[in-house]
Structure 1
Amino acid sequence: MDLKSLFSGVLALVLIPLAAHAEDLPDLGGKTLMVATENAYPPLQFIDPNSGQAIGWEYDAMKEIAKRLNFKAAHQNVSWGAMIQAVSDGQYHIGMNGITIKDDRKEKVDFSDPYMRSEMFMLVRGDEERFSDAKSFAALKDGLVGAQPGTPPFYVAVHDVLDGNEHNPRIKRFETFGASVQALKTGDVDVVLTDGTAGKGYAQASEGALKLVGGPLGAEDFGFIFPKGSDLVASVNAAIKLLKADGTFDALNKKWFLDYKLGG
């Protein structure tokens, strides 16, 4: 299978811009910037079960951005529920967590340009045969979906899979994405909606216990977040433009979406 086929429906980069030049990038003078992340979204960022180290596509991307802009990234684990407000309050310079660029979030934080486009898929148990897509799941009256409130999977479950009621009893709420996946494994819920990148990672690591079913349920653009008015936005955008143009992001896509085996 070629690279284009494998990424179809899982990951689509935004259009490659015109070439940028490293000499055009600003120099941040070696300063240390605090970067918030949850480490719960493989393969973007997660704890390696073998080494215990925080790794992933976003860690590598931020390392490359820091190298180009001459700063040090100091990462700190922050829950998703607290992250946007913490960055808005200036507790962190940058937030990275596969964060969907949305207008309501722009009221609290500034976003970088998109660095990745993702699509939602249904993650189910490997032996699931009662449904195979959103329509057949919706028809399964006792089927339960696990979701983290305030996230794209939650709203896709509400509006694209079920009936638009955020209090529908078929939606079971969890504090973390990882907890919803664990509930799926134990049979407490029947499906978890996830970006295809994370879903592929979990399915791959499960050795057949989990799988993705159905087609994509929506596209989302991911961006890094900053406190409102941060002068880092333009600098990071320039670095993103360069890393798209020079093939660095393509290499990271191959590393994390083709070559890396989560838990292997």
Structure 2
Amino acid sequence: MKFMPVLAFAASVLASAAIAEVPDLGGREVTVVTENAYPPLQFLDAGGKAVGWEYDAMDEIAKRLNMKVTYENSSWDAMIPAVSEGQYDIGMTGITIRDDRKEKVDFSDPYMRSEMVMLVRGDESRFTDGPSFAANPDLLMAAQPGTTPFYVGVYEVLDGDEANPRIKLMETFGATVAALKAGDVDLVLTDGTAGQGYVDASDGGLKIIGGPLGSEDFGFIFPKGSDLVAPVNAAIAAMKADGTMEALNKTWFLDYKMGQ
């Protein structure tokens, strides 16, 4: 038992050291772009205010790094090219870390892992999983071009044809969910984080069916060669070490009620 306080003290020292290693950016001004269509990561609340897990996380990162953040809004299609071209310093909208995207932008270390799920209307009974959806040629899915849900839909649910007419392409994730609610499409593939957020806000109008279709890691994006990557990674590591990330998960995935 005499060793327990020593171990606890050592853990505390290690955590403090991780926090101490976060650099001071001296009030550097940084522009962060997001989509505001991916609850609970980032979205507009009932009063029209931009809120969410990523906003709180980025505000905390900015505080720890002593940088001043200005937020801008962009569509998904425009976001990665705009960050790649240096129009913005950081991009965030639940962006899956993928090798093809690493050719255009740099990624932070993962700040979250999520699983791909099938989001459908609450009264859906014609299919219960990917194979039964694929077997009915009358069923349609919505997706944003170039996103992980698009590729999962093409290669894991359908026939691998990226021009398959059963996939209806839309500019924003919010538009895909709106089309689902309106009955224009029958399925939206999304990560479990956003999917559960929409289900919780739907009052039974939406549900998740089937099992997960694989996992994905989310990261912030930067122009290639950005000197912000290392500081942001240091802040992410410190926030994981001291429990901040866990607290944010509780706030946005357990406590927050969509629509408030």
TM range (shorter): over 0.9
Give the secondary structure class of the aligned counterpart of 1:26: coil
Tell me the equivalent position of 1:26.
Answer: 23
Q: Structure 1: how far apart are the matches of 2:240 and 2:153?
A: 32
Tell me the equivalent position of 1:245.
Answer: 241
Task: Compare the two structures and name the one with the higher helix fraction.
Answer: 2
How far 1:176 sits from its partner (Å)?
0.9
How far 1:72 sits from its partner (Å)?
1.2
Tell me the equivalent position of 2:41.
Answer: 44
| Higher Cα radius of gyration | 2
How far 1:21 sits from its partner (Å)?
2.8
Tell me the equivalent position of 2:94.
Answer: 98
Give the secondary structure class of the aligned counterpart of 1:237: helix
Give the secondary structure class of the aligned counterpart of 1:181: helix
Gaps of 5+ in 1: 1-17
Q: Structure 2: how far apart are the matches of 1:139 and 1:101?
A: 31
Tell me the equivalent position of 1:213.
Answer: 209
4+ residue runs of structure 1 moved beyond 4 angstroms? none
Q: Structure 1: how far apart are the matches of 2:178 and 2:21?
A: 46
Tell me the equivalent position of 2:162.
Answer: 166
RMSD between aligned residues: 1.0
How far 1:32 sits from its partner (Å)?
1.4
Q: Structure 1: how far apart are the matches of 2:51 and 2:86?
A: 24
Q: Structure 2: how far apart are the matches of 1:124 and 1:243?
A: 34
Give the secondary structure class of the aligned counterpart of 1:132: coil
Tell me the equivalent position of 2:147.
Answer: 151
Contact persistence 2:18–2:241 (CA under 8 A): no
How far 1:73 sits from its partner (Å)?
1.1
How far 1:22 sits from its partner (Å)?
2.3
Tell me the equivalent position of 1:232.
Answer: 228
Give per-residue Cα distances to partners, 1:124-183, cap 9 Å, x unaligned: 000001111111111122111111110010000000100000111111111111111111
How far 1:200 sits from its partner (Å)?
0.5
Say how many residue pairs are matched: 246
Give per-residue Cα distances to partners, 1:7-60, cap 9 Å, x unaligned: xxxxxxxxxxx7453221110001210001011100000011x22110000000
Query: Larger deviation: 216-225 or 20-29?
Result: 20-29
Q: Structure 1: how far apart are the matches of 2:226 and 2:182?
A: 43
- Correspondence for 1:61 among 57, 62, 65: 57
Query: Larger deviation: 140-149 or 54-63?
Result: 140-149
Give per-residue Cα distances to partners, 1:221-259, cap 9 Å, x unaligned: 110011111111000000000000100000000011111
Letter in 2 for 1:218: G
Contact persistence 2:18–2:237 (CA under 8 A): no
Tell me the equivalent position of 1:12.
Answer: none
2:32 counterpart of 1:35: yes
Q: Structure 2: how far apart are the matches of 1:201 and 1:209?
A: 12
Contact persistence 2:111–2:218 (CA under 8 A): yes
Letter in 2 for 1:70: N
With the length of structure 1 as denominator, give the TM-score of the two structures.
0.91
Tell me the equivalent position of 1:189.
Answer: 185
Give the secondary structure class of the aligned counterpart of 1:66: helix
Contact persistence 2:90–2:221 (CA under 8 A): yes
Give the secondary structure class of the aligned counterpart of 2:99: coil
Tell me the equivalent position of 1:6.
Answer: none
Q: Structure 1: how far apart are the matches of 2:243 and 2:173?
A: 31
Contact persistence 2:84–2:222 (CA under 8 A): yes
Contact persistence 2:117–2:191 (CA under 8 A): yes
2:117 counterpart of 1:121: yes
Give the secondary structure class of the aligned counterpart of 1:72: strand
Tell me the equivalent position of 1:179.
Answer: 175
With the length of structure 2 as denominator, give the TM-score of the two structures.
0.93
